[in-house]
Amino acid sequence: MNSFNKIIKYPVYFILLTGFVLIQSNDSYAQKKRNADERFKEARELAFAGNRDAAIDSCESILIDHPAYYGVRVFMARVMAWEKKYNESIVNLQQVLEEKKDHKEAINTLIDVYNWSGNPAMALQYTNYGLSFYQSYPDFMIKKAKLLQKLDRPEEAADVLTRLLDLYPTHKEGLILERNLSDLALLNKVYLYYRSDLFPSNSPWHLIYVEYARKFSFGTIIGRVNYANRFNKSGVQIESDGYINIRQGTYVYLNAGYSGVSIFPKLRLSIEPYQMLPYAFELSLGLKYLEFTSTTVRIYTGSLGKYLGNYWISYRFYLTPKPDKTSFTSAVYIRKYFSDTDNYVTLRLGVGLVSYSEIADEEFSGVSSKGAGVDFQFNLSRLTFIRGEINFGNHEYYKGKYKNRYGIKLGIQQRF
């Protein structure tokens, strides 16, 4: 007590002691902060090296001592999203925004997480939230434009791009997206294709078709004329396809065709609704009706697909009831997109007679098949595209008897 009185009596000692305590406290805090920064650097290195679980554990350890280190929590949330732990990621990001509502990187990451998890509508809401604080931030603007395009709202996307490019005329992503939106505004497409199917002991089949597609506000309508030569017979088939929008995320595929020659089905009808699901899945169920000269066929079909980054993976089945037995066939498709959705390569692996669309009466006895194929599409110029396909199949054309089938297809598409 006497010592304390002496300190008070001589203010200079009190001031020096207080300063010493503060300096020591600041040094201790700075040291802890440096340690946290070093640990955060190590966590980032772990994440980028592919050790994401270890990176998340390291971030959680930092946050025990520094719960308000928002950069760590936001980075951890992004790594969680990379690991598809979307719910955990969202919880952490929303915690940051509850404490600091205008945290730019937390908002930016939350937009990505909702988009990656298959919820673009919620991602769009957070672009608007972000722009309420940062009206001219280009990341929020370009993401909003992309999400509007994804949600099939091209006019609104174009408005956002106009504002973006007014502020940042050389914005690379903005210029590319502007061109893509301009291309989407084109309403017409014309296709010309040739296909040949080769058999070891039979004459090849030839198919040439031309089609015209027109985009309307309610969807796309396609008209097609097919000319084929098979079994030394030639003939024409007329077809029409429709992709009709029902509501956002829901559309229906329709098809109708007629021919007066036996190498095509006399009548063909199809209907197949498609529905987008959460987490970038798409589901469809449909019915195909084929009427040949001597028989009619009903084929029940469906598919389940998912978008994974630049890949699209889909499974499709065909269930065909017959008097003697019901056949079940299926195929898996893996598509890789390149610069955009118009440039891609697709691998198909199938078991069963995957498509009846080009099978004549004489071949309809086929009950099983194994096959594989690769198709591609690339642009020759901005509005001109080349498409091709190579496939192989081994078909049972009579009980216990099989023959190989090789196919090649090449075509060109023009948009205007």
> pLDDT tens digits for 234-250?
999 999 999 999 998 89
From CA 358, how far away is CA 389, in angstroms rounded? 15
- Give the chain's domains with CATH numbers: 2-135 (1.25.40.10), 189-415 (2.40.160.40)
pTM attached to this predicted model: 0.67
Ranges of residues in the chain with a pLDDT under 50 are 7, 21, 25-30, 354-367
What is the token pair recorded at 236?
Answer: 């024409």
Is 235 within 8 Å of 226 (Cβ atoms)? Answer: no
**DSSP secondary structure, 347-392, as one string:** EEEEES----TT--GGGTT--EEEEEEEEEEEESSSSEEEEEEEEE
Question: In DSSP terms, which residues pair with 388 in a beta bridge?
Answer: 376, 410
Please state at what angle helix 70-82 crosses helix 11-48, rounded to 10 degrees. 10
What pLDDT was estimated at residue 17? 54
What pLDDT was estimated at residue 293? 85
Q: Degrees (nearest 5) of the Cα angle 374, 256, 351?
A: 35
What pLDDT was estimated at residue 278? 85
What pLDDT was estimated at residue 240? 98
What pLDDT was estimated at residue 243? 97
Buried b (16+ CB within 10 A) or exposed e, 226-252: bebbbeeeebebebebbbeeeeeeebb
What pLDDT was estimated at residue 356? 40
Q: Determine if residue 231 is left, alpha or beta; phi over 0 gives left, psi from -120 to 50 gives alpha, anything else beta.
A: left
Is 313 within 8 Å of 333 (Cβ atoms)? Answer: yes
What pLDDT was estimated at residue 279? 82
From CA 115, how far away is CA 117, in angstroms rounded? 5
How many residues belong to the chain?
A: 416
